[in-house]
Structure 1
Amino acid sequence: MKKKHISIIIINYNTSSLTLNCISSINAFEESKSTEIIVVDNASKEEEVEHLINNLKNIDNVTFIQSKINLGFAAGNMLGFQYAKGDYYAFINSDVLFVEAVFESLISFMEENQNAGVCGLQIINEQGKETTSFRPFEGIRYKLFGKKFLAFTQPKKPSMLKKYNAPIVVDFIIGSFMFFRAEAFHSIGGFDPNTFLYYEETDVCYRLLKKGYKTYFLPNLKYIHLEGKSSSFNINLKIEHLISYLYVTRKNFGFLKYIVIKYFLILSYMLKAPFKKKNRSIFLKLLKMQESLALSMRHKQKI
C-alpha cells in the first residue's frame, strides 16, 4: 500500500516558543518524510515572527506562511490548508506536545473505518493526568441541566464522566488536535471562517455527521495539551466564546434552541450581574447580541 502523506497545520499567534516546541516534539516521534508542517502566523509581534523564522529555516519539512491580519482559528487554518498536499490533515494547536508516535495508528484506524471523518486522541496535562477530550453537542438539556443530566437521559451516548479503553463514536472532539480524512474535510468545505475563536470543532463535527461521516475518540493514543498557554483568559475572550456558541447553535441546531439557550444565558448573567463586574459586562453584551457576528473581536483589530 502506498504510504499516506500527512499535512500538519499549526497556528502561531505570539507563541513562537510553544510552536517550536510543538514542532520539535512532532519530528521527534514522526517520520518527517511522510509529513509536511505548515505554520501560519496570525499577525504576531515582530520579535515573535523573527524568532520563529530564525528557528524554522533549518527544518526541512516546514512551510511558513505569514498573515498580515489575525484571521482567528478557523480562517487561519483554512489559509494553511490551501498549501496542504496530504491525504490526511492534522490541525494541531501550538501548545500541544507529542509524547508518542500517533499518525501510523490513526491512519490504520481510518483506513479500517471508512466512515471516520475525523479522529481525536486522549489529552493529558503537564502532570500526565487525563483531561476532557470529547464533548456532547451543547443543546438545551446540556446547557440548562448539565452533563450529569444529559448522561442520565441519554445513557447510550458516550459520557465525559466515563473512562474508555477502545475507540468510540462521539459528538465532537476537542479542537487542540483534529485528524481529518482529506476527502471528508473537503466535502464540508473545511472550517467555517465566520467564527473567529471557539466552537469550530462543534461546527465541523456536526457538518461531518450530516454528510455521513463519524467523529471518533481514540483513548489509547495520547498527547499533552498545555491548556491555556496559547491564549490567556480575559473578558473579551469570554464574550467571543458566547458569540461563537450562539452563532454555531443558530446555524446548526435551529432557531428554537438558539432562542431558548440565548435567553437562558441572559437570565443567568442577569442574576449574577450584581455580584461581579465581568458578569455585568457579559450580560450587557448578550442583550446587544443579534444573530450576526458584529461584536466579534475580529472586527476590533487594526491593520
Structure 2
Amino acid sequence: MEKTTSAQPLVSVIILNYNTFQLMLDCVASIKKFTPSNIHVEFIIVDNASANNEGVSLQNAFQNQEECQVLRSQINLGFGAGNVLGAQQAKGRYFAFINSDVLFTEDCFSEMVSFMESSKNVGVCGIQILNGEGEKSISQRPFEGVRYKLFGKKFLYKTDPKIPKINAELKTPTQVDFVIGSFMFFNANAYRECGGFDPNIFLYYEEFDICYRLKLLGYKTVFLPQISYIHLEGQSGGFNILKKKEHLLSYLYVVRKNLGFSKFWIIKSYLLLTYFFKAIFKPKYRPLFKFLLFRGESLAHSLRHQQKQLEKKDTIL
C-alpha cells in the first residue's frame, strides 16, 4: 500500500453533524483509535446549521487538530448537499462518507483500501453494520424497482438469483445493488465521475441513486462482510408523518430520475392503491394518501424548503 505525503491524504472522511455534538466527538475518536498510522486520514466535518451554536463548539473542539476541519453551513442542507459541500474540500484518493452516529471497533480502512486497489471497476464499497447491541443489521439492499415494489423481495430473488438477499450470510466480497449510507467508501475518481450525491435529495434513497448512477458508468458496488462497524441509529418505532412524506418524495424522485417515466407511473399507481386501502382501515394513513395523490412527486414539498437560515450573529465566530 502506497504511503501518501502530508499534502495528500489517502482517505478523506466526510461527516455531517446536525445536533449530534457528542456523537461526533465519539465517532472521530473511534476512527482515529482504530486507524493505523500508515493510513493518512483527513476529517472534514460539515455542521448542517445545528442549534445552540454547535458548529462553533465543533470548531473549538477540533481547532488544534490539523487533520480536522469544520465547515459550517448557514442552513440545513440535508444529506446530499451537505456531503457535496464536504467533498468539495476533500483531497484523498478515497472518500469515506460516515454518519456521526457511527463507531469503529476495528481497523476498517486498511482492508477497504487494499480491496479497492486490487479490484477493477469498484466505485464504492460498504461493510457489515452492527447495532448498539452488536447484532448484525441490514447492510446492503436491492434497487427498489417494479418487481421489488409490486411483488416483493422473494419474487425479485427468484427472477434474478444474482441479487444477494438482504439478510444473506455473505462470507466473501459480493457485488450488490447498493450499500447502506451510514458508511460508504468511494473511489474518489468514481465519485466525481458520477457527479457525487444528488443535492436535490434532502433525506432517504441517496445510496440507491448514487449506486445506480455508478452502475450505469460501469462501476461496481461491493459489500465486504468480513469487517464491521457500529451504527447507533435511533429506533423510535413511532409514526412520523413528515418523515413518511419525505420518504415517499425521495423514492419517487429517484425512481423517475433513474428508472424512467413508465416504471415511475406503475410504481406511483401501485402506491396510491396501497395507501387508499390502508387509509380505509387506518386513519393515520389518510394524510399520506392525500399527499401522494396531490403532491407526492414534487420535491417542492420536501423538508429542505422548511429549513431556515441561521441568524447572522450565529454564523460568525
Q: C-alpha separation between the residues in 1 aligned to 2:78 and 2:254?
A: 16
Structure 2 match to 1:152: 158
- What is the CA deviation profile of residues 21-42 of structure 1, one whole-angstrom value per residue up to 9, with x for unaligned ones? 1111101111466000110000
Match of 1:91 among 86, 97, 103: 97
Q: Is the 8 A contact 1:36 1:61 kept in 2?
A: yes
Please, what TM-score do these two structures have when normalized by structure 1? 0.95
| Aligned partner letter, 1:18 | L
Post-superposition offset of 1:50: 4.2
Structure 2 match to 1:300: 306
Match of 2:234 among 228, 231, 234: 228
| Aligned partner letter, 1:3 | K
| Aligned partner letter, 2:82 | G
1:73-152 matches, cutoff 5 A: 73-152=79-158
Label 1:229 to 1:48 Cα distance change in 2 as closer, same or farther (>3 A): farther
Post-superposition offset of 1:236: 0.8
| SS in structure 2 of the partner of residue 46 of structure 1 | coil
Q: For structure 1, which segment, 151-160 or 61-70, has the greater mean C-alpha deviation from structure 2 after superposition?
A: 151-160
Structure 1 match to 2:167: 161
Q: C-alpha separation between the residues in 1 aligned to 2:97 and 2:15?
A: 6
- What is the CA deviation profile of residues 272-302 of structure 1, one whole-angstrom value per residue up to 9, with x for unaligned ones? 1134343111111101226431110111222
- What is the CA deviation profile of residues 250-279 of structure 1, one whole-angstrom value per residue up to 9, with x for unaligned ones? 000011110111111111111111343431
- What is the CA deviation profile of residues 84-132 of structure 1, one whole-angstrom value per residue up to 9, with x for unaligned ones? 0100000001111101001111111011102110000000111111111
1:44 aligns to 2:42 (yes or no): no
| Aligned partner letter, 1:280 | R
| Aligned partner letter, 1:255 | F
| Aligned partner letter, 1:99 | T
Label 1:233 to 1:225 Cα distance change in 2 as closer, same or farther (>3 A): farther
Q: For structure 1, which segment, 266-275 or 199-208, has the greater mean C-alpha deviation from structure 2 after superposition?
A: 266-275
Structure 2 match to 1:55: 61
User: How many equivalent residue pairs?
Assistant: 303
1:19 aligns to 2:11 (yes or no): no
| SS in structure 2 of the partner of residue 274 of structure 1 | helix
Structure 1 match to 2:76: 70
Structure 2 match to 1:288: 294
- What is the CA deviation profile of residues 216-251 of structure 1, one whole-angstrom value per residue up to 9, with x for unaligned ones? 000001000112379x87211111111000000000
Post-superposition offset of 1:154: 1.7
1:244-263 matches, cutoff 5 A: 244-263=250-269
1:183 aligns to 2:171 (yes or no): no
Q: Structure 1 unaligned runs (5+)? A: none
1:264 aligns to 2:274 (yes or no): no
CA RMSD of aligned residues (A): 1.9
- What is the CA deviation profile of residues 165-218 of structure 1, one whole-angstrom value per residue up to 9, with x for unaligned ones? 000000000000000001100111111111111111101001001111000000
Equivalent pairs: percent with the same residue? 57
